Structure 1
Amino acid sequence: MKKLSILVLSMTMSFVFANDPVKDLDAYKVAKTEAVNVSPFCLSIAKGDYEMTKKMIELGTEVNQFSEGMTPLMYAARYNRVEIIKLLVANGAKLGTKDSKGFKAVKYAELSGAHEAEELLLSL
Structure 2
Amino acid sequence: MPPPTAPGGAGAGAQRDPGLQPERTRMAWRRTTLSCAVAGVLAVRQALRSGPDPLAVLAVALIALAFLAFLGAANRRIQSLDAPRPPALSPRAAAAAAGCTIALAALGVAVLR
- TM-score, shorter chain, exceeding 0.5: no
TM-score, structure 2 length as denominator? 0.23
TM-score, structure 1 length as denominator? 0.21
Greater helix content: 2
Higher relative contact order (CA 8 A, sep 6+): 2
